[in-house]
Amino acid sequence: MIKVIKRYSVVGLLIVACFFSAFISLSNGLIVTAKAKMLIQKENQYTYCNEAIVTLRTANSISYDDLKNLFADVDTCNIYLENMQIYFDQIDSVYIPDVILLQNENLSYPTTKELRELPKGSIIVASSTVGAHEDLSIHGKWFSVFDQMDSVEFPFVAGKFIINADDYFSAFPDALNNTNEIRLRISSNEKDVYIPYSQIQSTLDNAIPKSLISCSDVITSDSLLRGSVAQNTLISISLFGFALINTIIISYYWVTVRRREIAIRKAFGASNESVILMMSRELFQLIGISALLAFIVELVLSLNQRNILDLPNAIAVCTILMLAITMSVFISMIVPVRFILEIQPSEGVKL
């Protein structure tokens, strides 16, 4: 192998460089895809199975008491008030919390405590947002931190707060003033979300005259994340395919510069199969060097960034890379094989 690299160093280095960049791109794409898959799996553990967005429009501003009357007959699903702002005296920022209007089943969040009911005067927070705070205040009104969600392991909860509607409106009593449109989110892991929607709809005419209610399905962040994963994968595969095309051209040149050597080998009795096998073995070694270098670089980067995959995903990435190496050798030899078969033993003398 060392002799081959010395004798055909330019072509060999071109193949190594070409596939090094290809494997860097492919392995990076696979790692990003695997990490995103892990994130999707974690997020799906805490995503409601059924969700619907309900929009409520009224001729006049609606009060919180009127809003609560809509849920008098609702005994299934959890209902959240959407797009409400919250800010704390200790934190210099504004957030959009999950405001719980009605709770009939466990809340679906990555918390350490069971969330069958969030106690009044309590909130749930993301660990990265509040740090070591055990209590937070709004306009001097104090709330205890009931539980924290680990935003390092579950980055999709970063900046999230969960609070009861009673607590929210005690801190922001004028939050619905001059508001003619309200968005509600009906969520459940156990029941059909359209049942409470129908109950709210039937109550609405009597509870809030001159009003209109409509319902639409929720577009979850899962679908957006999958789109990003698909785009990443497509880019990685495209770059890898581009490297394959380049290597086919380079491998053809490799056979051309070794034409006399191949002819002499045939003149001394080497069969076409043995020559093809020899060239494939050498190409496999060059591509293997590229893959090894790419693996070392990716491993160093992953260790520095603490971006290590779990064992099943690591095995899957390595398996795909090995298949890519094998496929690369096979595809890269398609064009050279044709020219190896056409080389005659007599050409060793002519050249």
pLDDT tens digits in sequence order for the chain, 351 residues long? 555 555 556 777 777 777 777 777 777 666 666 666 666 555 556 778 888 899 988 888 888 888 888 888 888 899 999 989 998 888 878 888 999 999 988 888 888 777 778 888 899 988 877 666 678 888 888 999 888 888 877 887 888 899 999 999 999 988 888 888 889 999 888 888 888 888 888 888 777 878 888 888 665 444 445 555 566 666 666 766 776 677 677 777 777 777 788 888 888 888 888 888 887 788 777 777 887 887 788 777 767 765 566 666 667 767 777 777 677 767 777 767 777 777 777 766 654
Instruction: Please give the Cα distance from 171 to 86 (Å, whole number).
Output: 9
CB contact at 8 A, 240 and 26: yes
d(CA 277, CA 301): 36
CB atoms within 10 A of CB 286: 29
DSSP per-residue string spanning 41-89: HHHHHTS-SEEEEEEEEESSPPPHHHHHHTTTT--SSEEEE-S--B--S
Specify the amino acid at residue 116: R
Local structure of 142: helix, strand or coil: strand
Report CA dihedral (82, 106, 88, 136) to the nearest 10 degrees. 170
pTM over 0.85: no
User: Who contacts 123 (Cβ-Cβ below 8 Å, separation ≥6)?
Assistant: 97, 136, 143, 144, 145, 146, 161, 162, 163, 167
